[in-house]
A and B are shown apart, each in its own frame.
Chain A
Amino acid sequence: MAKVQIPSPLRQYTQKRATVSVSANNVGDALADLVTQHPDLKRHLYSEDGKLRAFVNVYVNDEDMRYLEKEATALGEGDTISIVPSIAGGSGYEL
């Protein structure tokens, strides 16, 4: 079992749960279990082509899954998956 930390903007789709337990051996299966438990999450995590939206960062403990094995990253008992939407912006102002 692993747990998924849900960021505040997505808790409206997990019955306000900040943490969801999932049963999976890798990140891909964990996210699949997550959206099975909470189907409304799917469109907020994935684009229509079935890929994770670019601004959705997924960390396994403290490591970005993109730099591990991506969705194939193995999970151990007690691992924490964190979903972290990007925080960015700026004035965009050019002199």
Chain B
Amino acid sequence: MLKISQSDYVSLGRHGEETYPHECCGVLLGRWEEDGTKAVTRVVRCGNTREDSAHNRYHIDPKELIRIQREGRERGEEIVGFYHSHPDHPAQWSQTDLAEAHWTGCSYVITSVAQGTARETNAFELTGTGEEDKKFVSEEMRIA
């Protein structure tokens, strides 16, 4: 399960609306609870380096991630997931999403943005032990 505040949840859709018709992307910082629940404590927007195909692709610069990770570590926060938007496409993971996902155990949150308006947001946990058996599993999101 992924726990996220109402304001953080709203910010995901808002980011997607701002970048429409391009995909937005960012990092979810937070903590793992004892039962495996991921509690989001901060949403960090990132740049999408896929300027060549931003309408249907995203990529976060690893250098940006290192900085976010370091700053998060100073606050006792870990990377618990990532988010991005699908302009005019469902809030479901695609084959591209799966092929390019490597952070097993983390949540991948996807927002559909239809004609510039955020419609639906879904969370998926990347399960498995590595490239050979990774898969996305729908994850409950508790918004509080």
Identify the A interface with B (CB < 8 A): 5, 7-9, 12, 43-44, 53, 55, 57, 59, 62, 64, 82, 84-94
Are B59 and A87 interface neighbours, CB within 8 A?
yes
Are A94 and B130 interface neighbours, CB within 8 A?
no
B17 at interface (Cβ–Cβ under 8 A)? no
Q: Which of A7, A64, A91, A93 has the most C-beta atoms of chain B within 10 angstroms of its own C-beta?
A: A91
Are B96 and A9 interface neighbours, CB within 8 A?
no
Q: Which residues of B contact A7 (CB under 8 A)?
A: 79, 103
Task: Give 3 closest A-B pairs by Cβ, nearest first.
Answer: A90-B57, A85-B102, A92-B96
Are B102 and A91 interface neighbours, CB within 8 A?
no
The smallest C-beta distance from B132 to any residue of chain A, in angstroms, reads 9
Q: Which residues of B contact A5 (CB under 8 A)?
A: 69
